[in-house]
Structures are given as C-alpha cells and as structure tokens.
Amino acid sequence: MSTTRKAFGGLLAEAEREHAKRIVALRREIHREPELGFDTARTAAKVVASLEGLPLEVREGVAENGVVADLRGATDGPVVGLRADMDALPIREETGLPFASEVEGRMHACGHDGHTSMLVGAAHLLSGMRERVEGTVRFLFQPAEEGGGGGRVMVEEGALEGVEAVFALHLWPGLPFGVASTAGGPTMAAADAFELTVRGRGGHGAMPHLTADAVVAASHIVAALQTLVSRETDPTEPAVLTVGQLEAGSAFNIIPETARLTGTVRTVDEKLRRVMPRRIEELAKGVARAMRADASLEYAFSYPVTRNDPREAGFALEVAAGLFGEEGAVEASRPSMAAEDFAFMLEAVPGAYIWLGVGDVPGLHTPRFSFDERVLPRGAALLAALALARLGS
C-alpha cells in the first residue's frame, strides 16, 4: 500500500490544483443543458471540445452519440477502459443552483454530469504524464444509461475491443464524502420490467354486481404480488418487486373494463430472476380468475446484474486507499438494488464499478439532488490512478 501511495501521492494534489476549475466548469456546462437517452449530441460536443489539444485518438458517433478516446502511452502494453455516462433524467429541477437546468422537465439528477467531467479531468491528468502510461487508456463517454442500454450498444459496436479491464465511478449519496467503496461480486441488481393488463367486464358504478371490476382485481393483484418477495423468496436473498403504475377508468361512476399495472423486479440471483416472470403471471391470472377477470403479462429482461470481478474490485480498493488513505476506501457490505448498464461492459470485460461518496445529500433521481463539487477532482484523480496502476501491475 505504501508503494501505491508513493506512486500517486501527487496525483490528487495536481487534480485539485491544476484541473479543478476546468472539471467544475465542464460539469456546470453539462448541467445547464441536460440531454436524454441517446440524444446527447450537445453533451458529446462539449466533451470533444474539452479534450481538444490532448494527444488522444478520438472517435465520435459510437452508440449514436458516444465518444471513445484513446491515450497511447510511451510504451506498448494492455488497454484499460474508463467509462462515464452522459445522459440526464426527465425530472424538473428544484435545486435552485445558479447553473440549474435550462431545459424544462430535464435535469442531471443522477450525477452523470459529474461522472463525465471527472473522466475528462482524468484524460487531462494522464495526458500530462503520458510518459508514465505503460499501454493505452481508453476513455468511454457513454449515452443512454438511464434505461436505453447505451452500454450494451457500445459493447456491440466494439468500444471495448482489446480492453483488458474497465472501471467506472458513480457519485453516491449516503456514503461519506470522498470515500470510495466497492466489492467483488454483485454490486448493483438486475432490473427488469413488467406490464400486466387486467380485463374484466365494465359497467355502471352503481351496479357492480353486473360487472367484473378490473380495478378491484388489479388492486388485489398488487397486494398479492408482494408475497413473491415476502413469502416465496429466501429472506437472505435480495429482491424487490415494485408496482409503479396503476391506470384504469375514465370517470368516477364507470367501472372500467381494463386496468393496467407496470412495475420493476430487482434481483441479484440469476435463477430467481428467471423464475419471476412465471410466478408473476401465475399469481396475477389466479387472482384475476378468482374475481371473474383475466390478466396477461408482458415481461422484459433489461439490465443484468452489475457484477464486479473480485480481483479488480480488490485492486480498486487498494488504489483508492493509496490515493486517499486507508479511511478513504471501504469495502461495500451489500449490493444496491438500483441497476446500472455498466453491467453490460462487465459482462464483456473484467472490471469494477466504484461508488464515490458525496455525503448526506438528497437522493439520486430526485429533483433536489446535488453535491459538493470538491468531490470532482477526487474522482478524476482516482480514475487516473486506476489506469496508471492497472497498466503498471
């Protein structure tokens, strides 16, 4: 560990002294103009402009608006990937920041503006010490993390070709400020989606005996679905089933013929993941049938488990401890049930997904999410240190 600290002792200081203003300024530019999904052309243009003048081989248009930039070091060696996501969320911002979103109904509520600016900072740091880079660092600026599967598309389009290991950071509320945390194995859950359509027989609200009430059947199905976790899943096995939408009806005094439920299932065990669609359908149909209705299911397997390679996760913690001190690196005790499409990259290449603490701030995906920007040069330094150490290992 002392060797790591000696090797990267000045990296954090340089990031804070020489690059903090650039990193923060870029974060604010991106934050003012959030873009969704694959439609991140303006964000990508900001990234490319911020990399201008660096000794990088830049490819644009990967996964529509992704950017891939290679830094070839002074000597030949392996290729290490560093990834950041660029897209925002369809949320109306309520932070009151002077650089708040200027696009109505959109904001960076998950820290992707910070992730992108940190990766640009790492590119500047590593370009300035190119003679120490023993191989190639590939900077991956990815669109469409928030539901679009941009990571999968980047893999399909060859962005990880030749890469030996890949790393990514995510700003993380609730984790002490500036502390890095990760662990081998599952670190984020698989996220799948379902839609249930309940069909009954509609009629007058004053004559329910002449109907098969789809609203009542749907309500019982919502309650019954909770037993799939509470009564059918091993209590030591993490799982979540959430119904996020229940839509039905057109007027207060009409019993509708149909009701629609949509929701998400989160698991970390692949066997359980594959069982869930069958059990959701069996339970929903059984409850509906008991209430003289019927139910049909549409189910989509979406993001797989974000599964860290144990060796690379341990390596990342060692680098973080060497950079920040022993107190600045904490092994994660359990996975988050949120999901992340970096999972597709980790299916293709060994690597690790690392949380970087921003302390007690409003949660991710909320209108008031923000963070202390002093974390940004820390993240840039950690990304740079990961690449340097991995190429030198």
Q: Which residues are annotated as a binding site for Mn(2+)?
A: 110, 112, 146, 170, 365
H helix runs in the chain, sequence order: 2-8, 11-14, 20-32, 41-51, 112-127, 150-156, 214-225, 227-230, 270-290, 310-324, 342-348, 375-392
Closest CA to 115 of 63, 39, 167, 72: 167
Which residues sit opposite 260 in a β-bridge? 197, 247
R_g of the chain computed on alpha carbons:
24
CB 307 within 8 A of CB 187: yes
H helix runs in 60-173, sequence order: 112-127, 150-156
| Cα three-residue angle 17-129-322, rounded to 5 degrees | 70
> Alpha-carbon distance 333 to 94, whole Å?
32
Closest CA to 373 of 90, 136, 178, 157: 178
Binding residues: 110, 112, 146, 170, 365
CB 316 within 8 A of CB 182: yes
CB 68 within 8 A of CB 163: no
> Alpha-carbon distance 214 to 128, whole Å?
65
Q: 87 vs 12, 39, 183, 190, 222, CA distance in Å?
A: 27, 8, 26, 20, 32
Classify strands 351-359 and 180-182 as parallel, antiparallel or unpaired. antiparallel
Classify strands 180-182 and 329-331 as parallel, antiparallel or unpaired. parallel
Quickly tell me which residue has 């290449």 as its tokens.
349
